[in-house]
Structure 1
Amino acid sequence: MNRKKIKFSILLIFGCLFHISSIHAQERLSLELAVQTALENNYDIMLNKNEVEQAKNNVNRANAGMLPIITGNLSTNNTVSNTKQTLSSGVLQERNGAKNTNLVYGPVLNWQVFDGFQMFARYDRLKELENLGEANFKLAVQTTLADVINNYYDLVQQQQQIKALRGALEISRIRLRNSESRYTIGKAAKLEVLAASVDLNTDTTNLLRQIDQYRNTKIKLNELLARDINTDFSVSDTIIIGSSLLLTELQNSAAQLNPSLQSALINKRISEINLREVKANRYPGINLNTGYNFNRSTSELGFARNSVGRGLNYGLTASINIFNGHLQKRAEKNASLQIQNNQLQYEKLNQSITSQLSSLFQTYQTNLQLVKLERQNLEVARQNMDITLEKFRLGSVAPLEFREAQRNYIDANARYTNAQFEAKLAEVALMQLSGRLNLQ
């Protein structure tokens, strides 16, 4: 029964090895291609891009109310009535079912020529809304770019983990085979074979779980790229970490390029424009109107049986708010308070970004040191594993000591890859906050 379990474990091992070896036969997805695909297909980017186009379309003088409005109007009225009229001459006229019609049509122009400069404020607000849309689009691009890079390098570090677990699995196979041989010739107890079998199954389970996580991360990256989630691919085998970042440069760059800070500044400017719009209500509004009308009316009873007229009409309308229950004063005060709130929001966000940059930079430097340390630890663990494996083949190392060396190697590899990945995450976050994230 134990032999059947062992054979089953070996089949699982070969299945895992086949899966890993097939990775190398797949088309390799480079980070550059992943980013390019995301920029072209990602739904968040496409949605924000359309919103930017909408904001651009809205920036025109007509939308701000600067241009006149010309309409073509037509109205017709028809009546049927029973009429009885006594004329001034004393003549009585009476008609049942008398029909009267009136038709008026023609172009009409309305133009608000002055509204307290509100139209100019509206036009400025439309331009600022376009800038806000572009800032939000940049934020979406930076966020997507960070997500793609992070997921890509997550796959790289998981791939390294799988490689280490595969090596550990191969060592466990050698250990089991050696233990079985020793047990056959009577140099080892059954307990040693059972322990080797359990450790082999444990390593197989760890590898299968890591492969499952690797597949799930692939699905997530495919989702970010907005393509078929079952698309298979392989990634690079190295994590490239920049080591020349300076905190002062990052802080200066964030003040100029961070999309969230830019949005906060734009919102403040929009609130200032809103105050101008509110204050415009203190001024009079002047409207011009003109039109050219055609008029035709008919009446079956009365002095004029048929009337046709045409002509130009024009006029001017002016109005000013004299008193509205102090609503104007309240509106101006609220608009001023909104400016203060947006200023506070900007300062709060600026402080938060500065704090995040300082904290992340410290984490980034620490992880760079950990990468160097864990690289050395991994080399020591690898040498120890090689020496212990050779001694195990010669029978001069106890199984527990062998397993401990194997665990140390696996743990050292995991710590090294994790340190690389964490350093890369910190680097990407720093570049994203500074507003200059690009391919590293």
Structure 2
Amino acid sequence: MMSRFRIILFSCLLVTKAVAQETLTVEEAVAIALERNYDLKIAKNNTELADVQASTLNSGYFPTVSASSGVNYSDENQNVQFLDGTTTAVDGAVTESYNASVTAEYVIFDGLVRKFTHQNNKENLNLVKLQERQQIENSIISIYEAYFNTAFQKRVVDNLKLNVENSKDRLDRAGRKLKYGQGTKLEELNAQVDLNNDSISYIEAFRDLNNLKRNLNLLLGRNVSTDFEVNTEVFFKPEMDKQFILEAAERENIQVLLANQNLLLSDLDIKINKAQFLPKIVGSGSYRWNESQNPPTSFALQNEAYGVNLGLSLSWNIFNGTNATRVKTAKITKKNREIELIKAKEELVTDVLNSYETYSIAKYTLEAETDNLETNELNFERTQKQFSLGQVTSLDYRQAQINLFNSRNNYARSKFDLKIAELNILQLSGKLVN
């Protein structure tokens, strides 16, 4: 039963190895996400919407022009008594009237509401652009984390595959030694149990790898069943200076930029509400034409009028409790946003220092794990030779095998952890998108 299980397992290994798959780099993954990710599509649409609202056509600086026309027809029976006492009756008295007009209206002065509202729309566009950038940064970090988790799991699968191959070699050696009377049945059974456990671990790790691939495909906005290989190589930037990062973060960190932009919008909100107290002057002009055909009972059988009409109106909302309340509310909101800005700056310094310490420890950890990996590879190589010569026990061989497996995983994990720490610093300093 166990032999058949191992044959099926290694057949799967060979098939998996034989099928060529597309290699997806992390840069390609980010590019695909920027084009297809659903959250980013929504963020881009929000930016387009804010751009429309900030356009000159929505500024209120253009006049409103309208045209209208109409036709009226009536057919009535009329009995009319005039002032001189005479009367007349007309059956089928027809009245026809026609009219047409073009009217233009323009706000000459509105207390600067229009000016500040247009500025507010433009600054809101800048806010939405910052929010889109924030979404892009968060998506990039999510893609990197998902990609490197997949890459780490790929390393685990590869390491377990080597474990299975080494355990199979150990079982074969134990079987030959038992056959020639140089080993024990217990050694063969232990080797068989270890191979069984390694095989199960390999299958479970392969399942986890496929799950991570599907999750990454979902983030990329493509078919979740799309298969691919990941690149487990990682390249790091040169050593980053802590003071430079702090200074860059104060200027370009997205959270601070958003807090500053919200504060600016609060200022404009106060100005808009204060401007409501000033008078409003509206000018209007129209060209109108009217014509009517009247029955004999009317004083005029035909009437036509046309010409230009001009007007100027002034309105002044001398007191409005609602406007006063809005001004007070806007001032309180501004105070809150000033506090939010101070808080964002203080949190930023904390986050940068914490992230930089994490980054420094991750660098040290990677260096240490690199040394550990070299040591364990050398130790396993020597143990493997000694085991083939019968100079160490199978337990010693198994322990060296486990140590090498753990060391390989720890090295891979520390490599990807350092890259994530580096990316977090870049995000905090506002350099991630660049």
Distance across 2 between alignment mates of 1:277 and 1:153: 49
- Structure 2 counterparts to residues 388-407 of structure 1, below 5 A: 388-407=383-402
Matched, 1:208 2:186: no
Is the CA contact 2:78–2:93 (under 8 Å) kept in the aligned structure 1? yes
Letter matched to residue 316 of structure 2: I
Distance across 2 between alignment mates of 1:237 and 1:331: 57
Matched, 1:94 2:89: yes
Sequence identity percentage: 27
- Structure 2 counterparts to residues 23-422 of structure 1, below 5 A: 25-79=20-74, 81-95=76-90, 98-300=93-295, 301-324=297-320, 326-422=321-417
Letter matched to residue 304 of structure 2: V
Distance across 1 between alignment mates of 2:28 and 2:135: 18
Distance across 2 between alignment mates of 1:94 and 1:260: 84
Letter matched to residue 261 of structure 1: V
Letter matched to residue 266 of structure 1: Q
1:175 Cα offset (Å)? 1.0
1:372 Cα offset (Å)? 0.8
**What is the TM-score normalised by the length of structure 1?**
0.91
1:383-419: CA deviation from partner (whole Å, max 9, x where unpaired): 2212222222222322222222211111111111111
Counterpart of 1:9?
Answer: 6
155-164 or 111-120, which moves further after superposition? 155-164
**Which of 409, 422, 429 in structure 2 is aligned with 1:427?**
422
Residue 57 of structure 2 aligns to a residue whose secondary structure is coil
1:262 Cα offset (Å)? 1.8
Is the CA contact 1:357–1:430 (under 8 Å) kept in the aligned structure 2? yes
Distance across 1 between alignment mates of 2:10 and 2:352: 45
Distance across 2 between alignment mates of 1:116 and 1:51: 30
Is the CA contact 1:153–1:239 (under 8 Å) kept in the aligned structure 2? no
Is the CA contact 2:277–2:319 (under 8 Å) kept in the aligned structure 1? no
Where structure 2 has 5 or more consecutive residues not aligned to the other structure, the ranges are none
Residue 237 of structure 1 aligns to a residue whose secondary structure is coil
1:368 Cα offset (Å)? 0.8
1:59-86: CA deviation from partner (whole Å, max 9, x where unpaired): 2333121111001122444455554332
Give the alignment's Cα RMSD to 1 decimal: 2.2
Letter matched to residue 111 of structure 2: G
Letter matched to residue 163 of structure 2: A
1:96 Cα offset (Å)? 5.4
Is the CA contact 1:381–1:405 (under 8 Å) kept in the aligned structure 2? yes
Residue 303 of structure 2 aligns to a residue whose secondary structure is strand
Q: Against the structure 1 CA distance between its residues 236 and 122, is the aligned structure 2 distance closer, same or farther, given a 3 Å change threshold?
A: same
Distance across 1 between alignment mates of 2:223 and 2:231: 21
Alignment: residue pair count: 433
Is the CA contact 1:13–1:204 (under 8 Å) kept in the aligned structure 2? no
